[in-house]
């Protein structure tokens, strides 16, 4: 176990995994715990939150599983109050919830577009509204939002709503960082590139003829030669949440194997 977050309390929204294996939120919650933080693991699916919390408990950490809907302010407020009551304070807010709907404005239904707004940018507003008052009372805290490389680059996938809402996450993060800097609250976001998580097999694989083709194409698109893993995102989150990053705020950090630097398109 590490010490970089010893004594800190983290609340992770989207702490479960969308399938077997390690999603970004699940890995982040466990990584926070491995560095000494107590973690409130929040997910819409109760069993997913409990699985992550169980991993932390079995490794000797401290965790609380909470089921909550990030599209519902009252549900988020309840989750935040449960975490604060359990642990006494909230030092790290981690937002990992997101959804992709393929299609441009012609193909997307209005319901899909609205859902992207509600699930990709809406939780940043709702969780910040609930958590920031706790951080202000205690004199500071850290917010880590998970965005996407699609916020700043065309990645080859036709997901207009996802790209637009993740760009909104970037600027929302900057706005939070600047508004609350003097109150001791730092806010940064991570822009994952091509990451091998359970999510891509559910929401991305339909763009390819086969799973093997998807994996091969995504690996080939990364300058380092292979997709990243959820642990690459989790390790970046731990750094940004730790005092090692105490002079870093308002940053949108690509974790993408160099893809944001490349000119060539992968598809």
Determine the pLDDT at residue 122. 97
Give the mean pLDDT of 67-72.
Answer: 97
Please provide the average confidence, as pLDDT, over all residues in the chain.
95
> If you search the block for the tokens 């030092």, which residue do you land on?
91
Give the mean pLDDT of 22-31. 96
**Percent residues over pLDDT 90 in the chain:** 84
The domain spans of the chain are 9-194+230-259
- Two tokens, residue 75: 């549900």
- 175, 73, 101, 90: which is closest to 141 by C-alpha? 90
What ranges make up the beta strands (E) of the chain? 9-13, 38-43, 63-67, 92-95, 141-146, 185-192, 252-255
Note the pLDDT tens digit of each residue in 186-212: 999 999 999 998 878 887 878 888 988
Token pair for 82: 């449960």
Predicted local distance difference test score (pLDDT) of residue 265:
56
The values of phi and psi at residue 248, to 5°, are -120, 120
- Catalytic annotation, residues: 162
User: Is the model's pLDDT at 267 over the cut of 50?
Assistant: no
Name the DSSP class of 2: -
pLDDT at 207: 82
Q: What is the average per-residue pLDDT within 73-98?
A: 97
Residue 253 has pLDDT above 50, yes or no: yes
pLDDT digits (tens, 9 = 90+) for 5-25: 999 999 999 999 877 889 999
pLDDT for res 199: 78
Domain 9-194+230-259 listed as CATH 3.40.50.720? yes
Confidence of residue 264 (pLDDT cuts 50, 70, 90): low
Q: What angle do CA 219, 49, 42 make, to 5 degrees?
A: 95
Per-residue model confidence as pLDDT tens digits over 143-188: 999 999 999 999 888 989 999 999 999 999 999 999 999 999 999 9
Kindly list the distances between the CA atom of residue 195 and the CA atoms of 149, 213, 230, 241, in Å, as whole numbers in the listed order: 11, 15, 7, 21
Checking if the pLDDT of 263 tops 80, the result is: no
pLDDT of residue 225: 94
pLDDT band at 227 (very low <50, low <70, confident <90, very high): very high
pLDDT the model gives residue 237:
98
Tokens of 28: 């982040």
pLDDT for res 69:
97
* Angstrom distance (rounded) from CA 223 to CA 107: 31
pLDDT of residue 19: 76
């Amino acid at each position: 176990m590490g010490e970089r977050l010893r004594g800190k309390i983290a609340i992770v929204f989207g702490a479960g995994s969308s399938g077997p294996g390690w999603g970004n939120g699940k890995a982040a919650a466990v990584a926070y715990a491995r560095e000494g933080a107590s973690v409130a693991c929040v997910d819409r699916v109760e069993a997913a939150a409990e699985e992550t919390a169980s991993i932390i408990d079995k490794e000797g950490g401290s965790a609380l599983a909470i089921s909550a809907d990030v599209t519902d302010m009252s549900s988020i407020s309840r989750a935040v109050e449960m975490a604060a009551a359990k642990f006494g304070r909230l030092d790290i807010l981690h937002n990992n919830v997101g959804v992709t709907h393929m299609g441009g404005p012609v193909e997307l239904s209005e319901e899909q577009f609205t859902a992207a707004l509600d699930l990709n940018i809406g939780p940043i507003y709702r969780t910040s509204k609930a958590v920031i008052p706790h951080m202000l009372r205690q004199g500071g805290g850290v917010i880590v939002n998970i965005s996407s490389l699609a916020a700043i680059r065309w990645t080859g996938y036709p997901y207009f709503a996802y790209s637009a809402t993740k760009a909104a996450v970037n600027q929302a993060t900057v706005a939070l960082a600047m508004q609350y800097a003097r109150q001791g609250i730092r806010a940064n976001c991570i822009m994952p590139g091509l990451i091998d998580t359970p999510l891509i097999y559910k929401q991305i694989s339909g763009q390819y003829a086969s799973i093997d083709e998807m994996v091969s194409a995504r690996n080939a698109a990364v300058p380092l030669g292979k997709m990243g893993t959820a642990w690459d995102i989790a390790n970046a989150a731990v750094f940004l949440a730790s005092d090692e990053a105490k002079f870093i705020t308002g940053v949108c950090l690509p974790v993408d194997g160099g893809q944001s630097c490349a000119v060539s398109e992968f598809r």
